[in-house]
Amino acid sequence: MSTNTIPERQDGTTIFASWANDIRTAIYGDFVPRNTSAVATDQAGSLGSTSFKWLSAYLHNLYIYNSTLRTRILRASGGSNYDWNLPNDLPSSDGPLKVSTSGNLSYDLQGNFVLSGICSNYSTTSSSFVDPDNLSLSITSNGRPVLLKLISSDTSTPGRLRALSASNEIRILKNGATTIFLTAIDEASERNSPAAISTIDTSASAGSITYKVQVKSDGVNSWLLQRVLLVAVQL
């Protein structure tokens, strides 16, 4: 690198070897910015312009500075070649970026947090699985695991699950067919916190997924669900 000033010559001036060597010295090795007087200057000039852009840049390291500190961007060793395709606009609100397997970056603005409707007061003695009121939802998954949980819908009166038989079961179905959670409520406890029902769907695939809660009694002792709702969170 050289920070010498590139000399200017007028018409009719003899060009000596030293003048040509000044140009060579200025451009070999590290290439530094210069002002309009050809003097090496910090934070001067640009590579290309809005009208004349470089087609490609091949770099091993990229250093981005503020006044004193820098951020270094570099590629990890190994792996394979790939492309990143950036979004074509800013998001309408704050949110994370996600990367598809083809390298497309997009904004994940859904938050991947979905609540079902409220099951206010539901009871059944059905000996086959039935659907309590409103405990169903759909979430658009990115293929990562999904946390599923019953929670209380009321901040003043606790949500409640009651099942007076160990044969009274509760399950969560995925897309109406796959059971991803099944348990029996403790018959020794008449009241259970909705938060006791929790699971993670580790087989979630990308796309829309529908989850719903179902309950089944022993045909005698009733199931009771009060002030509860289902929540799904993309992990």
Using CA atoms, how far apart are residues 108 and 139, in angstroms rounded to an integer? 13
Tokens matching residue 104: 């497309």
Cα gap 53→228, rounded to integer Å = 59
Res 146: pLDDT: 93
What is the residue type of 134? Answer: N
Contact 215, 125 (CB under 8 A): no
Task: Supply the mean pLDDT for the chain.
Answer: 86
pLDDT the model gives residue 134: 96
In this prediction, residue 132 carries a pLDDT of 95
Would the pLDDT of 188 be above 70?
no
pLDDT at res. 91: 80
Quote the pLDDT of residue 164. Answer: 75
Contact 166, 183 (CB under 8 A): no
pLDDT at 115 over 90: yes
What are the residues whose beta carbons fall under 8 Å from the beta carbon of 139, sequence distance 6 or more? Answer: 112, 114, 146, 208, 209, 211, 232, 234
Question: For the segment 50-103, what is each residue's pLDDT rounded down to a tens digit?
Answer: 999 999 999 899 999 998 899 999 988 898 999 999 989 888 777 778 888 899
Residue 156 in this model has a pLDDT that exceeds 60: yes
| Domains contained in the chain, CATH given | 1-78 (no CATH), 82-111 (no CATH), 113-234 (2.60.120)
